[in-house]
A and B are shown apart, each in its own frame.
Chain A
Amino acid sequence: MAQTDTGEATETKSIREAIREGLREELQADEMVMLYGQDEEDGESFEVTAGLYDEFGGRRVRNTPISEAAQVGAAVGAAATGLRPVVELSFSDFIGVCFDQIMNQAGKTRYMFGGASEVPLVLRATEGGGLSAAAQHSGTVHTLVAHLPGIKTVAPATPAAAKGLIKSSIRSPDPVMFFENKTIYDERGEVPTGDVTVALGEAAIERSGSDVTVVATQRLFGEAMSVARDLEGEVSIEVIDPRTLYPLDTETILESVSKTGRLVIADESPMSYGFHAEVVASVVEDGFFTLDAPPQRIGVPDTPLPFAPGLEQEVLPTDADIERAINRVL
Chain B
Amino acid sequence: MTSIDMDTTAGRIAALEKMLLARAFENTVQDQFADGEIPGFVHLSQGQEAVAVGVCGALTEDDYITSTHRAHGHSIAKGLEPDRLLAELYGKEAGQCRGKGGSMHVADLDRGMLGAQPIVGGSAPLAVGAGITAQYTDSDWISLGFVGDGATAEGQVHEAFNFAATWQLPVVFVIENNLYSEGMHFDEQHNIEDLADMAAAYGVEGVIVDGQDVEAVHETVTTARNRALDGGGPTIIEAKTYRYRGHFEGDQEPYRSAEEVESWRNERDPITNFSEKLIEDGELTEEKRDALTAAAAETMEEALEFARSTEEADIEAAYEDVFVEPAPEIDRHRERIAREEPNWGVY
Contact A73 B126 (CB under 8 A): yes
**Given the interface contacts A110-B321, A115-B321, A247-B327, does A70 sit within 8 Å of B115 by beta carbon?**
no
Could you tell me the distance in whole angstroms from the C-beta of A103 to the nearest C-beta in chain B? 10
Q: How far is the CA of A287 from the CA of B124 in the complex (A)?
A: 47
**Given the interface contacts A113-B109, A150-B323, A173-B324, does A80 sit within 8 Å of B129 by beta carbon?**
yes
Contact B125 A101 (CB under 8 A): yes
Of residues 66 to 105 in A, which have CB atoms within 8 Å of B's CB atoms? 67, 69-83, 85, 100-101, 104-105
Partner of B159, one of A69, A80, A287: A69
Could you tell me the distance in whole angstroms from the C-beta of A219 to the nearest C-beta in chain B? 25
Could you tell me the distance in whole angstroms from the C-beta of B324 to the nearest C-beta in chain A? 4
State whether the Cβ of B255 lies closer than 8 Å to any Cβ in chain A: no
Contact B329 A59 (CB under 8 A): no
Residue of A nearest to B313 (CB): A114
**Given the interface contacts A111-B322, A112-B107, does A82 sit within 8 Å of B119 by beta carbon?**
no
Of residues 103 to 152 in B, which have CB atoms within 8 Å of A's CB atoms? 105, 107-109, 114-115, 117, 119, 122, 124-134, 136-137, 143
Q: Is the interface of B mostly helix, strand, loop or mixed?
A: mixed
Of residues 43 to 73 in A, which have CB atoms within 8 Å of B's CB atoms? 59, 62, 64-65, 67, 69-73
Contact A100 B129 (CB under 8 A): no
Contact A73 B160 (CB under 8 A): yes
Could you tell me the distance in whole angstroms from the C-beta of A65 to the nearest C-beta in chain B? 5
Partner of B344, one of A72, A74, A174, A289: A289
Could you tell me the distance in whole angstroms from the C-beta of B147 to the nearest C-beta in chain A? 12
Contact A77 B130 (CB under 8 A): yes
Residue of B nearest to A98 (CB): B156
User: A29-52: contact bitstring with B at CB < 8 Å (1 yes, 0 no)?
Assistant: 000001000000000000000000
Q: How far is the CA of A79 from the CA of B107 in the complex (A)?
A: 15
State whether the Cβ of A318 lies closer than 8 Å to any Cβ in chain B: no
Contact B100 A111 (CB under 8 A): yes
State whether the Cβ of A160 lies closer than 8 Å to any Cβ in chain B: no
Q: How far is the CA of A118 from the CA of B109 in the complex (A)?
A: 11
**Given the interface contacts A114-B99, A174-B323, does A104 sit within 8 Å of B122 by beta carbon?**
yes
Contact A74 B128 (CB under 8 A): yes
Contacts of B99 in A (CB 8 A): 114
Q: How far is the CA of A29 from the CA of B100 in the complex (A)?
A: 35
Contacts of A255 in B (CB 8 A): 347
Contact A201 B328 (CB under 8 A): yes
Residue of B nearest to A248 (CB): B329
Contact B126 A105 (CB under 8 A): yes
Q: How far is the CA of A59 from the CA of B137 in the complex (A)?
A: 10
Contacts of B323 in A (CB 8 A): 110, 150, 152, 174
Contact A149 B115 (CB under 8 A): no
Contact A73 B100 (CB under 8 A): no
Contact B114 A65 (CB under 8 A): no
Contact A82 B344 (CB under 8 A): no
Q: How far is the CA of A150 from the CA of B329 in the complex (A)?
A: 11
Number of interface residues of A (CB under 8 A): 58
Q: How far is the CA of A234 from the CA of B303 in the complex (A)?
A: 75
Residue of A nearest to B99 (CB): A114
Contacts of A118 in B (CB 8 A): 324
User: B304-347: contact bitstring with A at CB < 8 Å (1 yes, 0 no)?
Assistant: 00000000000001001111110111001000100000111111
Q: How far is the CA of A78 from the CA of B128 in the complex (A)?
A: 8
Binding-face segment, B44-52, B90-98, B259-267: B90-98
Contact B119 A100 (CB under 8 A): yes
Q: How far is the CA of A104 from the CA of B120 in the complex (A)?
A: 12
Contact B115 A74 (CB under 8 A): no
Contact A111 B321 (CB under 8 A): yes
Q: How far is the CA of A322 from the CA of B122 in the complex (A)?
A: 44
**Given the interface contacts A113-B105, A114-B99, does A67 sit within 8 Å of B129 by beta carbon?**
no
Contact A77 B129 (CB under 8 A): yes
Could you tell me the distance in whole angstroms from the C-beta of B138 to the nearest C-beta in chain A? 10
Contacts of B143 in A (CB 8 A): 77
Contact A77 B317 (CB under 8 A): no
State whether the Cβ of B293 lies closer than 8 Å to any Cβ in chain A: no
Contacts of A34 in B (CB 8 A): 132, 136
Contact A114 B324 (CB under 8 A): no
Contact B107 A117 (CB under 8 A): yes
State whether the Cβ of A138 lies closer than 8 Å to any Cβ in chain B: no
Could you tell me the distance in whole angstroms from the C-beta of B95 to the nearest C-beta in chain A? 7
Contacts of B107 in A (CB 8 A): 112-113, 116-117
State whether the Cβ of A290 lies closer than 8 Å to any Cβ in chain B: yes
State whether the Cβ of B101 lies closer than 8 Å to any Cβ in chain A: yes
Contact B325 A172 (CB under 8 A): yes
State whether the Cβ of A269 lies closer than 8 Å to any Cβ in chain B: no
Could you tell me the distance in whole angstroms from the C-beta of B132 to the nearest C-beta in chain A? 4
Contact A110 B114 (CB under 8 A): no
Q: List 30 A-B contacts (CB under 8 A).
A: A62-B167, A64-B163, A64-B167, A67-B162, A69-B155, A70-B128, A70-B156, A73-B124, A73-B129, A77-B66, A77-B128, A77-B130, A79-B129, A82-B133, A82-B137, A83-B132, A83-B133, A85-B129, A101-B156, A105-B117, A111-B321, A111-B322, A112-B107, A113-B101, A113-B109, A114-B100, A115-B98, A173-B325, A174-B323, A286-B336
Those 3 A-B pairs whose CB atoms lie nearest each other, nearest first: A77-B129, A73-B125, A114-B98
B-binding residues in A (CB < 8 A): 34, 59, 62, 64-65, 67, 69-83, 85, 100-101, 104-105, 109-118, 149-150, 152, 172-174, 200-201, 246-248, 250, 254-255, 257-258, 285-290
A-binding residues in B (CB < 8 A): 64, 66, 95-101, 105, 107-109, 114-115, 117, 119, 122, 124-134, 136-137, 143, 155-156, 159-160, 162-163, 166-167, 317, 320-325, 327-329, 332, 336, 342-347
Given contacts A73-B122, A74-B126, 17 further A-B contacts (CB under 8 A): A65-B163, A70-B124, A76-B126, A77-B133, A77-B143, A101-B156, A110-B324, A112-B105, A115-B321, A116-B97, A173-B324, A201-B328, A254-B347, A255-B347, A257-B347, A286-B343, A286-B346
